A and B are shown apart, each in its own frame.
Chain A
Amino acid sequence: MSLSKIKFDKKIVLSFWIILIALIIAAPTLLPVFRLNLLGRYLSLSIVALGVDLIWGYTGLLSLGQGIFFALGGYCAAMYLQITSSSEFPNNIPEFFALYGVEKLPFFWGPFRSPVFTFFAIWIIPALVAGLIGFLVFRNRIKGVYFSILTQASLLVFFNFFNGQQKLINGTNGLKTDVTQLFGQMVGSESMQRIFFWITAILVIAAWFFAKWVVKGRFGNILIGIRDDEPRVRFTGYNPVIFKTIIFSIAGGLAGISGALYTVQSGIVSPQFMTVPFSIEMVIWVAVGGRGTLLGAILGAVFINYAKSLVSEALPASWMFIQGGLFILVVTALPEGVLGWIQGDGPRNLLQRFGLKRKIETYPSLEVTNKEGNNE
C-alpha cells in the first residue's frame, strides 16, 4: 500500500485549524441541544475509532472486542458519578443497591469516591485489561483470525459478567449518569452537556495528535512492519509481542476515555456497550474512513454515526441493509477506505476512466509531473 500523501500548503493547514476551532467554539450556540449532544457522542466515538485504527490500520490486529474497554471506561466514570451523588440515599450508597437488598458497598466501589483515582482509572484500567488480554494472546503467537475470535469471545464473557451481576453493578439495567451531580451541577443539564462537548472536542484533537505521535518514527515503523510481515520483524531482532501489547493497551486506554465521554453524554452505561455488533461497527467506521489514515478514522466514526441516526429516523428497517452492504462494499471495492482512496491514486484513476486525464504509461511512482499536467 503506497500512499503518495498530498502535501498541503502551510496557509491551508492554518486556515483549516482556524475554521475547525471556530466551529468547535460556535457549535454549542449554533446547534440545538439534541443535535449538539449527538455530535458530542459521535466525536467521543471517534476516539475509540482512533484506537481501532492504531491496532488494525497500523498493526494489522483486528480486534472485535474494543467494546470491553469502551464499557470499562464508561463504568469507571459512571461509578464515580453514582457514588458522589448518593448521599441522600439510605446507607449512603447508590439507589439501585436497595432494590437487591445490598447494604454494604462492594469493595471495588470504594476507590471511586476519589475524583483523582477516577480520572486515572478511566484510561488506566481499560489499558491494563487490554494489556493483560493482549499479552496472554500475543505471547503464544496467536494472530490473525484466531486473535479476532478470541477478542470477540472475551467481549461476550465481559458482557455476560456485567449483565449477570445485579448486586455488584446493577446488571442489565446499567448505571445512569444523567441525574447525578458533578461539581454541584446536574450531569444531564444543558450547560454541563455544552462543557462536555468542548471537553470531547479538545480530547479528540489531543488523541489525534497523540496517535500521530505514536505512529511516527521507529515505533510506528515497527507497527507497520508487524502488519506487513511479522516473522521478518522477529528475525530482525525485535520482539513483536512487546510492541503488540503496548499498542493494544494504548488502544484500550483510548477506548476507555471514549467510553467515559460517551457515557456522560448519553446518560447511561450498560452492558449494551459490550454487545458484539457495536464492537464490529467500530471497525467499519475505520474501514470506511480509511484504515491507516488517522483522520479517516475520526471522520468515519462521525459521519457513519450521523448517517445512521438520520437513516434510522427516516427508515428504521433499512439501516441494517445499508450497514451490511457497507461492510461488503468497503471490503471488496474500497479496501483503503474513502480517505485512503483520495490520498492514493483513486481520483486520478476515476478521471482516467472517464477520459478526463491522460493515462500514465510509466510506473506511477516514477512519474514526473510538470506544471502543465502533461506527463511526457
Chain B
Amino acid sequence: MELLLDSLFNGVAIGSVLLVAALGLAIVFGLMGVINLAHGELMMLGAYTTYVTQLIFKLPILKPFYNSYIIVSIFLAFIVSGVVGILLEKTIIRKLYGSPLETLLATWGVSLILQQFVRSVPLAYGTGLVISLLIGLFLPTTFPSKIKESINFKYFKFSSWIFAALTGVLTGSLISSSVSKLSRASARNVDVTAPSWMRGQVEIIGTAFPKTRLMIIVITLISVIAITLFLNQSAWGMRIRAVTQNRQMSDCLGISTEKVDIITFGIGSGLAGVAGVAVSLLGSVGPNVGGNYIVGCFMVVVLGGVGNLLGTVLASFGIGIMTDLIGAGRLLSIWPDMPLPLTNTINFFATTSMARVMIFALIVIFLQFKPTGLFPQKGRMVEN
C-alpha cells in the first residue's frame, strides 16, 4: 500500500511537470495547428525569470519578502514568456498560418536564437529588453480611444516605443549595477534555491513527500483550473473554443480570429513560463533546460489529442505514472517472483532513458488503434 502510494505520487509528480509544460502547447496546437518548437525555450525563459526574481528579492529593500519570491515569480514568468510569445506571434508565426511545417522550422530558429541570447547577453539587460517589449506592446492599448482613432496614432505608438526602450535600458542598468551576478553574460547553469518554507518533506499517511514536488503539483493544479475556467466561463474563452472548432465559421460570425490567435498564443507561452518556474525547482537552470522536456510535451499532445484538456491531463499523468513504473522497475517489487525472462526484460528497461524508449514504443502501439489520440476532434473533413 505504502509502495503503491509512493509510486503513484512519483508518477503524479512527473506527470504534473509534463502537464503544466504541455498545457500551453496543447492549447496552441489545438487552435492554430502550430507546433511551437520554441516552447521549451519559453520554459527556459520562465526558469531564468525565477532566478532573476530570486536575486532581486535578495536586495535589501525586498529582503523581508524573500520567502514569497516564488509566488511572485510565477506571475512574472507568465508575463515574460507571454510577452515573448506574443512578439513571436506578431512577427513570425502570423505570416506562416496554413503552413505548419514551415512554422515548425521557423520556431526552431527562434529557439536557437533564444538559447544563444541567454548565453551571450547579461541577464540584467535581458530583463530590461523584456520590460521594454512589455511596455512597447501594451502601452498603446491603454490609450483612450480618442487617441487610438486619431490619425496621429502611429506617432503616439512610436513615442511609446521610445519611452519603452528608455525604461528598458534604465532598468537594465539599474539591475546590473545592483546585482553583480546578473551583470555578466555566462553560459553556465544557475541554481534556484527554494525558500525555506518549501524545503524539507511532508509526511502523509506514513510516507514522506518532498515539498517542492508538492508545490509543483499545486502549481499545475491551479494552472489547469484557471485555464479550464478561462476557456469555459469567460467570453474570450468561448471565442477561443469557437475558433478551435471552426475557424472560418467563427470569422464569419464576427469573432476577430486575429485577436483570438494573439491571446491564445500569449496564454500558451505564458503557461510555458509557469512550467519554467516548476522546472527551476527541480534542477539547475541552463540554456538547454527546455529541450529536456519538450519531446515529452509533444508525446502528451500526440497521445491526448487536440481540443480537449481532459485528454492532455490524462495523457500526461498516464505517461508520468508509466515512466515511474517502468523506469524504477516497480513492477518487480509489486510482483517479486515473476519468471526470469520477464525479470530480465524489466531490469533492462529500468533506467530513465530506457523507460522513455519503452513508453515511446507503447505510444506508437497505441496510435495504431487510435491514430488521433485519446479524444479526437469530431468533424466531417477529408483531412483530419
| Cβ–Cβ < 8 Å partners of B96 in chain A | 331-332
Interface size of B by CB at 8 A reads: 45
The reply on A302 being an interface residue by CB < 8 A is no
The reply on A22 being an interface residue by CB < 8 A is no
B106, B113, B363: the one within 8 Å of A321 (CB):
B113
Question: Measured between alpha carbons, how far is A266 from B57 in the docked complex, in Å?
Answer: 50
A60, A140, A154, A327: the one within 8 Å of B112 (CB):
A327
| Cβ–Cβ < 8 Å partners of B103 in chain A | 331
| Cβ–Cβ < 8 Å partners of A335 in chain B | 102
Given A157-B356, A317-B116, A328-B106, A145:B101 Cβ within 8 A: yes
Shortest C-beta distance, A217 to chain B (Å), equals 26
Given A287-B105, A324-B109, A328-B109, A160:B368 Cβ within 8 A: no
B104, B119, B353: the one within 8 Å of A317 (CB):
B119
The reply on A325 being an interface residue by CB < 8 A is yes
Interface size of A by CB at 8 A reads: 45
Stretch at the interface among B234-242, B268-276, B294-302: B294-302
Contact B109 A164 (CB under 8 A): no
**Residue of B at shortest CB range from A319?**
B116
Question: Measured between alpha carbons, how far is A157 from B352 in the docked complex, in Å?
Answer: 11
The reply on A106 being an interface residue by CB < 8 A is no
Given A148-B35, A156-B295, A161:B354 Cβ within 8 A: yes
Q: Which of B345-362 contact A (CB under 8 A)?
A: 351, 353-354, 356-357, 360-361
The reply on B367 being an interface residue by CB < 8 A is yes
B35, B104, B113, B295: the one within 8 Å of A325 (CB):
B113
Question: Measured between alpha carbons, how far is A56 from B102 in the docked complex, in Å?
Answer: 11
Question: Measured between alpha carbons, how far is A276 from B110 in the docked complex, in Å?
Answer: 15
**Residue of A at shortest CB range from B104?**
A148
Contact B112 A320 (CB under 8 A): yes
| Cβ–Cβ < 8 Å partners of B119 in chain A | 317, 320
Contact B112 A160 (CB under 8 A): no
- The residue among A327, A332, A335 with the most chain B CB atoms within 10 A of its own CB is A327
Contact B101 A148 (CB under 8 A): yes
Contact A323 B109 (CB under 8 A): yes
A149, A156, A320, A326: the one within 8 Å of B116 (CB):
A320
Q: Which of B338-384 contact A (CB under 8 A)?
A: 351, 353-354, 356-357, 360-361, 363-364, 367-368, 371, 382-384
Question: Measured between alpha carbons, how far is A156 from B363 in the docked complex, in Å?
Answer: 14
Question: Measured between alpha carbons, how far is A102 from B384 in the docked complex, in Å?
Answer: 50
The reply on B120 being an interface residue by CB < 8 A is yes
B353, B361, B368: the one within 8 Å of A163 (CB):
B353
Contact A280 B108 (CB under 8 A): yes
Contact A327 B108 (CB under 8 A): yes
Contact B353 A332 (CB under 8 A): no
B29, B104, B109, B302: the one within 8 Å of A62 (CB):
B104
Contact B101 A317 (CB under 8 A): no
| Cβ–Cβ < 8 Å partners of B291 in chain A | 276
| Cβ–Cβ < 8 Å partners of A142 in chain B | 367, 371
The reply on A209 being an interface residue by CB < 8 A is no
Shortest C-beta distance, B85 to chain A (Å), equals 15
Question: Measured between alpha carbons, how far is A325 from B106 in the docked complex, in Å?
Answer: 9
The reply on A152 being an interface residue by CB < 8 A is yes
Question: Measured between alpha carbons, how far is A280 from B356 in the docked complex, in Å?
Answer: 21
Question: Measured between alpha carbons, how far is A56 from B105 in the docked complex, in Å?
Answer: 12
Q: Which of A303-318 contact B (CB under 8 A)?
A: 317
Question: How many cross-chain pairs have Cβ atoms below 8 Å apart between A and B?
Answer: 122
A130-156 interface bits toward B, Cβ cutoff 8 Å, 1 = contact, 0 = none:
000000110111101110111011101
The reply on A284 being an interface residue by CB < 8 A is yes
The reply on A121 being an interface residue by CB < 8 A is no
| Cβ–Cβ < 8 Å partners of A115 in chain B | none
- The residue among A139, A146, A152, A276 with the most chain B CB atoms within 10 A of its own CB is A146
Question: Measured between alpha carbons, how far is A271 from B116 in the docked complex, in Å?
Answer: 23
Q: Which of A152-183 contact B (CB under 8 A)?
A: 152-154, 156-157, 160-161, 163-164
Contact B35 A324 (CB under 8 A): no
Q: Which of A276-291 contact B (CB under 8 A)?
A: 276-277, 280, 283-284, 287
A145, A161, A317, A320: the one within 8 Å of B357 (CB):
A161
Contact A140 B371 (CB under 8 A): yes
Shortest C-beta distance, A42 to chain B (Å), equals 20
Question: Measured between alpha carbons, how far is A60 from B103 in the docked complex, in Å?
Answer: 14
A326-358 interface bits toward B, Cβ cutoff 8 Å, 1 = contact, 0 = none:
111011100100000000000000000000000
**Residue of A at shortest CB range from B353?**
A160
Question: Measured between alpha carbons, how far is A154 from B360 in the docked complex, in Å?
Answer: 7
Given A320-B115, A332-B92, A145:B354 Cβ within 8 A: no
Contact B295 A152 (CB under 8 A): yes
- The residue among A148, A276, A320, A321 with the most chain B CB atoms within 10 A of its own CB is A320
| Cβ–Cβ < 8 Å partners of A287 in chain B | 105
**Residue of B at shortest CB range from A159?**
B353
The reply on A90 being an interface residue by CB < 8 A is no
Question: Measured between alpha carbons, how far is A148 from B29 in the docked complex, in Å?
Answer: 14
Q: Which of B134-178 contact A (CB under 8 A)?
A: none
Question: Measured between alpha carbons, how far is A255 from B314 in the docked complex, in Å?
Answer: 37
Shortest C-beta distance, B298 to chain A (Å), equals 4
Question: Measured between alpha carbons, how far is A147 from B254 in the docked complex, in Å?
Answer: 34
Question: Beyond the given A280-B105, A317-B119, A327-B109, could you list 19 further A-B residue pairs with CB under 8 A, ordered by the A residue number?
Answer: A136-B368, A139-B368, A145-B101, A146-B302, A149-B301, A150-B302, A154-B360, A156-B295, A156-B356, A161-B353, A161-B357, A164-B351, A231-B383, A323-B109, A324-B108, A324-B109, A327-B105, A328-B106, A328-B110
A-B contact pairs, 18 of them (CB 8 A): A62-B104, A62-B105, A136-B368, A142-B371, A148-B101, A150-B364, A152-B295, A153-B298, A154-B360, A157-B356, A160-B354, A231-B383, A276-B291, A277-B112, A320-B116, A331-B96, A331-B102, A335-B102
Binding site for A on B (CB under 8 A): 29, 33-35, 92, 95-96, 100-106, 108-113, 115-116, 119-120, 291, 295, 298-299, 301-302, 351, 353-354, 356-357, 360-361, 363-364, 367-368, 371, 382-384
Lowest 7 A-B CB distances belong to which pairs?
A: A327-B109, A140-B371, A324-B112, A320-B116, A324-B113, A160-B353, A324-B109
